[in-house]
Amino acid sequence: MSKEKVVLAYSGGLDTTAIIPWLKENFGYDVICCCIDCGQAEELDGLDERAKLSGASKLYIENIVDEFCDDYIMPCVKAGAVYENKYLLGTSMARPVIAKRLVEIARKEGAVAICHGATGKGNDQIRFELTIKALAPDIKIIAPWRMTDVWTMQSREDEIEYCRQHGIDLPFDAKHSYSRDRNLWHISHEGLELEDPANEPNYDDLLVLGVTPEKAPDKGEYVTMTFESGIPKSINGREMKVSDIIKELNTLGGKHGIGIIDIVENRVVGMKSRGVYETPGGTILMEAHQQLEELVLDRATYEVKKDLGNKFAQIVYEGKWFTPLREAIQAFVDVTQKYVTGEVKFRLYKGNIIRAGETSPYSLYSESLASFTTGELYDHHDADGFINLFGLPLKVRAMKMQELNNQNNH
């Protein structure tokens, strides 16, 4: 009788390498490893050999960079989705697309379970598992870090020793370094000195994608971008697909110290955590998109879109991508993007994105209306009646208070 199969979300790191023999030993599964490439740029060389050496029967390396950019990043950019005013959802957006691919491979392989290496304290366990539940309610989920009766390893040393006992002697390092998550959109850093919010980050050791503003060039750099219906189409006159635009913006942003944030955020599980995030290209893309939106969206739509953008960020942060609510808000956002077409120009300088002009065929900005000369559309006398009506509730209330005061004083 053939063994039941489990699909493991595999990075080639120590945790997921130790999980392979652990799954075989405790559950008797046939382990299929899946390394999902969202543009993390880490070495994928040698993963095949490492997975097989660790006891996996098969390894999939899946490049989903374009799907990630087009179907997950862009809806968030168009929505202006930012969690708690700062976090551009780099890890949050990637988890549903990774889990979706794990489900697809599990179906293809006829696997009964999916296993991930996320801890029991973080957000990622929620994001992975909500996606699996939404797309494959019949598939079992295995989360070793929460199974403390079976998963007894407490440290990197324990994991290295466990691997060694199972004939896996790989060049893993026992020393603790920053806990990082990287994809095309960003890199996050947690751990070490960041665990105490009183400590300043050691940026010289920390930064991967760019430099601090102090180390950025002393000369600014102009960038021009075009958008069509909310989607970026070109940088400095060169047309590119979205993933290449983000790559190019990452290079430019990293060079000029753009998009480094240090935040204490509220995790879904109820605790606060502190992290430093580098999102150089994403910060520029969000800013450029908003720069154009300000020109073409009417006030009422802009106001509602801002509220729904915050809601969208919360939905994505909480791992609820595959829900009717996310689809509904995304549909609203798509309607608002119909006329977000045009060109924006800005200058990158020492951590700043400085506006340098924008144009759109759908611009609602009227020079004759905005200037101080009176055009046919705007008669200054009309403001009298408007202010009388607009201020009527305030005036009525003030008159009432005055009347009551006079009665009390007599």
The helix or strand, by DSSP H or E, that contains position 322, with its residue range, turns out to be: none
Q: What pLDDT was estimated at residue 170?
A: 85
Counting Cβ atoms within 10 Å, is residue 234 exposed (0-12), middle (13-18) or buried (19+)? middle
30, 54, 95, 188: which is the annotated catalytic residue? 95
Measuring CA to CA, how many Å separate 209 from each of 189, 206, 250, 260, 281? 12, 10, 7, 10, 10
Q: Identify any residues that bridge with 31 across adjacent strands, giving them in sequence order.
A: 6
179, 234, 243, 363: which is the annotated catalytic residue? 179
pLDDT tens digits, one per residue of 304-357: 999 999 999 999 999 999 999 999 999 999 999 999 999 999 999 999 999 999
Task: Tell me whether residue 15 is one of the annotated catalytic residues.
Answer: yes
pLDDT tens digits, one per residue of 90-133: 999 999 999 999 999 999 999 999 999 999 999 999 999 999 99
Residue type, position 100, single letter: K
Measuring CA to CA, how many Å separate 299 from each of 303, 385, 387, 390? 6, 21, 19, 17
Dist. CA 250–CA 233, nearest whole Å: 16
Task: Tell me whether residue 179 is one of the annotated catalytic residues.
Answer: yes
37, 124, 274, 326: which is the annotated catalytic residue? 124
Q: Which two tokens stand for residue 222?
A: 């102009």
Q: Identify any residues that bridge with 239 across adjacent strands, giving them in sequence order.
A: 234
Q: Is residue 157 pLDDT above 70, yes or no? A: yes
Rounded mean pLDDT, 52-63: 95
Q: Which two tokens stand for residue 196?
A: 């105490």
